[in-house]
C-alpha cells in the first residue's frame, strides 16, 4: 500500500530542519519511504493513492507528552484553585464518585477525538482502567504511551496499590507488542505514594521493560513536602530510590534546581512541559530554556481538560513560547522553531520514541498531519515556524495520518463516532454535575 | 426593523451578571429593545426577523481595546526581539518602506475581517492614514475608536507632527458624528514624542472632544528613559503635563507602581491589557488584579498581528487569566467571569463607551455575537464563563451583529470580500518580503 502526500510545504523536523517547498512524502504501509521534492517523488509513485497537500503545511504529527484523556468529561468542573486544593477537594472526590470503566471509555474517546482534530497523533496518558484507554487508542488509530496510574489511596479501579500493580502487569503484558500502544505504569507522584510503592512500581516497569510516567516537581507544596520528609528535592529523592532512568517520562519538572536538571539529563529522563495547566493552577514555570540548553529531552503537553481546559497542542505551543519570554524578560527565549521541535521530535525524545516518530524521515513511522494555511488568521505568512506557533490553530488541521492510516480527512474523523461521543458526554455532564450538587465537594 | 435572537444562553454582562438560559434579545433598529426569557419575548416579536440561537451563547460583542489593524499585513515578519529593537530595527523601517494608503486599506480590511470572524464588534485602532481605517470600519459595519498616530519622526503619512495633527483635526471633524466611528488622536508614546507635541496633541483632542489613544508604560526602557529624562515614571510624567483624563485610553500600563495606578484611576484613564504582545515582546506583566481591585477601567486587546500574531480576543482571554495566575502564583487571581468582563463591559469602560456598548441591556447598541457550543473541544460545559475563557475559541463564533446589523452569519462575513482581501494580502506579502530582502533591516 503506497500513499503519496504531495504539493505542500514539508516541515521535516529532521536534524537539518529541512523545509521543502512543494515537497512530497511517500508512505509505504505504516512507514515513510521517501521525502523530497514533489517533482522527484511523484513519477516514482505511480499507482499510489495520492493526497493533494497544496496550500498546506505537511509536518510530523504532534506529540502530546502528558494527558489524562478521560478527564475531558471533567472539562472545567473546578476553577481558580491551587493544585493541592483542586486535587483533594474537587478532582479526587469527583473521580471517586464518577469514574468507571464506561466513564473512561467515553471520556477517552472524547479526549482522543479532540486531540486528533488538533493534529495530535501520539499521546501519553496516565489514568485508571488504562486497558480501556488502550482499546480506544486502538479503535481511534492514534498512537499512545499509556500508564496505569498507581496511588496509595483507594482509586476508582483498585482499592490498593498492590491491586493496581497487578493490573498494570497484566496490562503491560497484554499490549507490549501492539504497534500503536506502548503500555507502561504511572506512579502518580512523590506526594501521593510511599517510597515502598514507588520502588515496587519501578521494579515492575523494569522487569517488563515498560516506561514509567510520573508527575515530577509540579507544585511548590510537593517540593516543600519532599524537603520536609526526605531532606531532598523531588528529583533528588526519586534519584535516591533509583526511580529515574531512560525509561522515565516526567511531567512538569518545575521545582528543579541546577543539580536536579543535571540529574534528569544524566538519567535520560524525558521532561514534559504543560504550560497552560501550570499557569492555570499557578504551579510555576518550568525552566525549559535551561533544560534544553543542557541537552535535555523536552516535550510539550496539554495535561487534562480539567486543568487546561482543552487538548489543543497549538495553544500549548503558543503559550510555551510566550511564557518563557515573559518569565525570563527575554524576547529571544524559546524561538518558534524550538517550540515546534518540542511538539514533534522533542516530544518523541521525551517519550523515548525518537527512533520511531517525531520527524519526517525515511524509515520512521508515517505519522503526519496536513495544516491548511489559507485562513484569514494565517494570511500572510512570512515564516512557517512563526505561523505554526503564533497564528495557526487546532482548527486549521485538515488531515491526520497515523502509521500510514488516514484517521482524519478534511476534518472528518474516520475512526471515531463523533455524534455518539458528544451525546454520551452530555449524559455524563448531567451525571457529574448532579454528583457534585448531591454532595458538594467544597 | 425588529430582530429577535432567541433560544440561546444569554450572557448579559449587566451589573448583576445575569445569565438567561433559553433567553432572547429583541433588537429594534440599532438598539437592544428587550432582554429576557424566550417564552416571554417571542410572542411580542411577531413580524420580527428571527435568528435561532439554540445551541449558542449569546453575548455582547467583544471589544478589542488596542489594535493596529493594518499591521495584519506584517503578521510575523520579525520575531524574538525586544520592543525597542523590534520597533527601531524592524517595524519602523518596514513601515517606512511599505505603508501607503493602499496598504492601510487592505491591511485594515484583513485585520477587521479576522476580528469580526472572532467575535470582535468594536476595536480601538492607532495607525497612519486613519481616515482609510474609518472608511473600512464603515464598510465592514464594525465599530471603531480610531486614533491618527502622531510621532516626532517622519511617518508614512506625514513628515512632521504638525502635519499629522492637522490631518488628525480634519479626520476628527469629518467623522465625529458617525454612528460607528469615534474619531480620536493617538500620540504614540512618551519615548517617541516631545513634551511639546504631547501637549499639542492633548490640546487638539480636548478642543474637539475626541479621545486620546496612547501606549503607556509598556516597556522597561520606556520607564527608565522617562525617569532619566524627566525624573518621573511615564504615568507621573503624563500627569505632570496634563495629558491624563477621562478621555484617555492607555495601552499596556505595565511599568506602573501604586501611585501610578492611583493616578490612572483618579483621572479615569482606561487601561488596556495586551497579554500576548506583552509576553511575546517580554515587555512584562500588567498588574491587572491591582488595577481592577482599585476600581480601574480595564479592557483587553490583541495589539497588532505583528506582535501577537493574530487578532483573536479568545486567545487573549485565555492567556490573560493564566498570566495573572502564574505571575502572582495565585490560582484564584482573575477568575473567568472577570476576564469575560474585560473583553466586554470592562473594555467598554476602558474606551469610555460603557453607556453605549459592552452589555446586553435595553437601550444599549445591539452589538451581539452568537457562539456555538456543540464542538468536541467545548463539550461538556459545566460553567459558561470557564468555557468562554478556557475552551471555546474564535472559530466557534457563528454570527456577529453590530448596531442591529448582521455583519457575519454562520461564519460568512456579509460586508467584506474575503477572497479579494486574501489575494491582496498575498500580493503585499511578496512586496514586503522583497523590501526586506532588498535592504535588510537587521
Per-residue pLDDT reduced to its tens digit, B160-169: 999 999 999 9
The Cβ of residue A246 has, within 10 Å, a number of other Cβ atoms equal to: 11
Range of the domain at B32: 2-60+358-410
**Contact residues, chain B, for A86 at CB < 8 Å:** 331
Q: What is the pLDDT of residue B78?
A: 86
Q: How confident is the model at residue A437 (pLDDT cuts 50, 70, 90)?
A: low
Pairwise CA distance, residues A301 & A218, whole Å: 14
Within a domain: residue A326? yes
- B437 falls in which pLDDT band (50, 70, 90)? low
Nearest chain B residue (CA) to A396? B395
Which residues does chain B have within 8 Å of residue A395's beta carbon, measured at their own beta carbons?
393, 395
Query: What would the 3-class secondary structure string for A20-42 be?
Result: EEEEEEEEECCEEEEEEEHHHHH
| CA distance to partner chain B, nearest, from residue A9 (Å) | 16
Q: What is the largest CA-CA distance in chain A?
A: 67
Q: Is residue B425 included in any domain, yes or no? A: no
Task: Please indicate, yes or no, if residue A431 is contained in any of the structural domains.
Answer: no
At B111-146, the pLDDT tens digits run 999 999 999 999 999 999 999 999 999 999 999 999
| A157-171, B73-87, B210-224, B384-398, range with the lowest pLDDT | B73-87
Contact residues on chain B for A374, CB-CB shorter than 8 A? 422
Q: What is the rounded CA–CA span in Å between residue B22 and residue B313? A: 26
B192 shares its domain with B255: yes
Let me know whether B276 and B138 are in one domain.
Answer: yes
Mean pLDDT (chain A, rounded): 96
User: Does the pLDDT value for residue A440 go beyond 70?
Assistant: no
Q: Do A108 and A26 share a structural domain? A: no
On whether residue A428 sits in a domain, the answer given is no
The answer to whether the Cβ–Cβ distance between A309 and B391 falls below 8 Å is yes
**Which of A81, A113, A425 lies closest to B380 in CB terms?**
A425
Contact B376 A335 (CB under 8 A): no
- Same domain, yes or no, for A149 and A30? no
Interface test with A, best of B69, B72, B76 (most A CBs within 10 A): B76
| Percent of chain B surpassing pLDDT 70 | 99
> C-alpha grid cell for residue A270?
524525558
CA atoms of B144 and A294, how far apart (whole Å) = 49
- Identify the DSSP state of B259: H
Q: Check pLDDT > 90 for residue A83.
A: no
Does B394 contact A377 at a Cβ distance shorter than 8 Å? yes
- A357 assigned to some structural domain: no
Which chain A residue has the Cα nearest residue B308? A390
Give the residue on A whose Cα is nearest the Cα of B319. Answer: A319
Q: Shortest CA distance to A309 belongs to which of A273, A277, A285?
A: A277
Query: Is A76 in Cβ contact with B382 (below 8 Å)?
Result: yes
Question: Under 8 Å CB-to-CB from A360, ≥6 apart: which residues?
Answer: A10, A11, A12, A13, A14, A25, A32, A35, A58, A59, A60, A368
| CA separation for the pair A221, A225 (Å, rounded) | 6
- Does residue B69 form part of some domain? yes
Instruction: Note the pLDDT of residue B441.
Output: 41
Q: How far apart are CA B393 and CA A318, in angstroms?
A: 14
Average pLDDT over residues B32-36: 97
In degrees and rounded to multiples of 5, residue A71 shows phi and psi of -70, 0
Q: Considering the domain boundaries, does residue B438 fall inside one? A: no
**Strand pairing class (A49-52; A297-300):** unpaired
Judged by DSSP in three states, A222 sits in: helix
The answer on B295 and B233 residing in a single domain is yes
Residue B48 and residue B33 in contact, taking contact as beta carbons nearer than 8 Å: no
Same domain membership, residue B55 and residue B9: yes
Q: Is the pLDDT of residue B186 over 60?
A: yes
Q: How close A44 gets to chain B, by Cα (Å)?
A: 33
Candidates A331, A394, A433; nearest CB to B81: A331
Q: Which of B73, B110, B391 sits opposite A76 (nearest CB)?
A: B391
CATH number at residue B39: 2.30.40.10
**Shortest CA distance to A108 belongs to which of A82, A136, A84?**
A136
Question: Do residues B172 and B295 both lie within one domain?
Answer: yes
State how far residue B310 is from chain A, nearest Cα, in angstroms. 6
CB A385 within 8 A of CB A340: yes
Looking at the structure, do residues A374 and A302 belong to the same domain, yes or no? no
Do B393 and A393 count as a contact with CB atoms less than 8 A apart?
Answer: yes
**pLDDT above 90: residue B70:** yes
Check which CATH number belongs to the domain holding A176 and give it. Answer: 3.20.20.140
Q: Which three cell numbers stand for residue B302?
A: 490583541
Let me know whether B32 and B164 are in one domain. no
| Count of domains observed in chain A | 2
ipTM: 0.97
End residue of a domain, out of B306, B322, B350:
B350
**Which residue in the set B86, B382, B425 is minimally distant from A429, CB to CB?**
B382
Contacts of B79 in chain A (CB under 8 A): 335-336, 383, 386, 390
Contact B72, B56 (CB under 8 A): no
* pLDDT value of residue A4: 97
B371 lies in the same domain as B243: no
| Chain A partners within 8 Å of B376 (Cβ) | 110, 113-114, 117, 418, 421-422
A162-169: long-range contacts, CB 8 A cutoff, minimum separation 24: A165/A200, A165/A201, A165/A204, A167/A131, A168/A130, A168/A201, A168/A204, A169/A204, A169/A208
Give per-residue pLDDT as tens, A285-338. 999 999 999 999 999 999 999 999 999 999 999 999 999 999 999 999 999 999
Q: What's the pLDDT at A442?
A: 35
pLDDT value of residue B102: 98
Q: Alpha-carbon torsion B281, B283, B286, B287, what sign?
A: positive
Chain B nearest-CA residue for A374: B422
**Is B436 among the domain residues?**
no
Q: With contacts defined as CB-CB under 8 Å, which chain A residues touch B373?
A: none
Say which of B331, B394, B429 has its CB closest to residue A280: B331
Last residue in a domain, options B299, B324, B350:
B350
Q: Is it true that the peptide bond before B380 is cis, omega within 30 degrees of 0?
A: yes
Is pLDDT of A116 > 60? yes
What percent of chain A stands above pLDDT 70?
Answer: 99
> Which chain A positions have a beta carbon within 8 Å of B386's beta carbon?
76, 79, 309
pLDDT for the residue numbered B86: 84
> Which residues of B fall within a CB distance of 8 Å from A326?
278-279, 282-285, 323, 327
Query: Which among A350, A374, A403 is the end of a domain?
Result: A350
- What's the confidence (pLDDT) of residue B438? 56
Same structural domain for residues B242 and B381?
no
The answer to whether B383 contacts A117, with C-beta atoms less than 8 Å apart, is no
| CB-based contact A212:A183 (threshold 8 Å) | no
Average pLDDT over residues B310-323: 98
B213, B252 Cβ separation under 8 angstroms: no
Determine, for residues B376 and A79 on separate chains, whether the beta-carbon distance falls below 8 Å. no
8 Å CB contact between A281 and A308: no
* Segments of B129-274 assigned E as strands: 143-150, 181-187, 212-216, 248-252, 270-273
Q: Name the grid cell of A376.
A: 484569514
> Which H or E run contains A407?
strand A405-409
Q: To 5 degrees, how large is the angle CA B400–CA B340–CA B357?
A: 55
Average pLDDT over chain B, rounded to an integer: 96
Question: Which residue in B282, B321, B422 is closest to A379 by CB distance?
Answer: B422
**Per-residue pLDDT for A345 more than 50?**
yes
Cis peptide before A309 (omega within 30 of 0): yes
**Cβ neighbours around B336 below 10 Å, total:** 22
Q: B117 or B94: whose pLDDT is higher? A: B117
Same-domain pairing of A39 and A71: no
Amino acid at each position: 500500500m503506497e500513499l503519496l502526500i504531495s504539493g505542500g510545504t514539508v516541515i521535516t523536523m529532521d536534524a537539518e530542519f529541512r523545509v521543502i517547498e512543494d515537497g512530497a512524502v511517500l508512505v509505504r504501509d505504516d512507514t515513510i519511504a521517501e521525502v523530497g521534492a514533489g517533482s522527484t517523488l511523484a513519477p516514482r509513485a505511480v499507482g499510489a493513492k495520492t493526497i493533494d497537500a497544496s496550500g498546506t503545511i505537511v509536518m510530523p504529527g504532534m506529540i502530546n507528552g502528558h494527558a489524562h484523556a478521560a478527564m475531558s468529561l471533567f472539562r472545567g468542573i473546578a476553577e481558580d484553585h491551587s493544585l493541592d486544593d483542586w486535587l483533594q477537594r474537587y478532582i479526587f472526590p469527583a473521580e471517586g464518585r464518577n469514574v468507571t470503566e464506561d466513564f473512561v471509555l467515553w471520556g477517552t474517546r472524547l479526549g482522543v477525538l479532540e486531540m486528533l482534530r488538533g493534529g495530535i497523533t501520539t499521546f501519553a496518558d496516565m489514568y485508571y482502567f488504562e486497558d480501556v484507554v488502550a482499546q480506544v487508542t486502538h479503535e481511534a488509530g492514534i498512537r499512545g504511551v499509556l500508564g496505569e496510574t498507581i496511588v496509595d489511596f483507594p482509586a476508582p479501579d483498585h482499592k490498593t496499590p498492590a491491586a493496581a500493580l497487578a493490573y498494570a502487569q497484566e496490562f503491560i503484558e497484554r499490549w507490549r507488542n501492539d504497534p500503536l500502544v506502548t503500555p507502561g505504569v504511572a506512579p502518580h507522584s512523590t506526594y501521593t505514594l510511599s517510597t515502598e510503592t514507588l520502588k515496587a512500581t519501578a521494579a515492575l516497569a523494569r522487569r517488563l521493560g515498560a516506561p514509567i510516567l510520573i508527575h515530577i516537581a509540579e507544585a511548590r507544596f510537593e517540593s516543600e513536602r519532599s524537603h520536609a520528609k526526605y531532606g531532598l528535592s523531588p528529583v533528588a529523592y526519586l534519584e535516591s530510590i533509583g526511580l529515574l532512568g531512560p525509561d522515565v517520562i516526567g511531567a512538569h519538572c518545575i521545582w528543579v534546581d541546577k543539580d536536579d536538571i543535571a540529574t534528569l539529563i544524566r538519567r535520560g529522563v524525558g521532561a514534559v512541559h504543560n504550560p497552560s495547566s501550570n499557569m492555570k493552577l499557578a504551579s510555576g514555570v518550568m525552566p525549559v530554556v535551561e533544560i534544553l540548553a543542557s541537552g535535555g529531552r523536552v516535550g510539550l503537553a496539554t495535561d487534562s481538560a480539567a486543568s487546561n481546559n482543552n487538548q489543543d497542542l497549538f495553544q500549548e505551543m503558543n503559550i510555551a513560547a510566550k511564557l518563557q519570554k515573559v518569565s525570563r524578560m527575554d524576547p529571544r527565549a524559546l524561538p518558534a522553531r524550538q517550540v515546534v521541535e518540542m511538539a514533534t521530535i522533542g516530544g518523541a525524545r521525551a517519550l523515548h520514541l525518537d527512533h520511531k516518530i517525531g520527524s519526517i524521515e525515511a524509515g520512521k513511522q508515517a505519522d503526519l498531519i496536513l495544516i491548511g494555511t489559507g485562513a484569514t488568521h494565517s494570511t500572510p505568512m512570512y515564516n512557517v515556524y512563526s505561523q505554526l506557533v503564533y497564528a495557526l490553530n487546532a482548527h486549521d488541521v485538515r488531515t491526520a495520518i497515523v502509521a500510514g492510516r488516514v484517521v482524519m480527512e478534511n476534518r472528518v474523523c474516520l475512526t471515531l463516532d463523533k455524534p455518539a461521543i458528544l451525546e454520551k458526554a452530555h449524559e455524563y455532564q448531567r451525571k457529574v454535575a448532579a454528583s457534585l450538587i448531591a454532595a458538594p465537594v467544597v
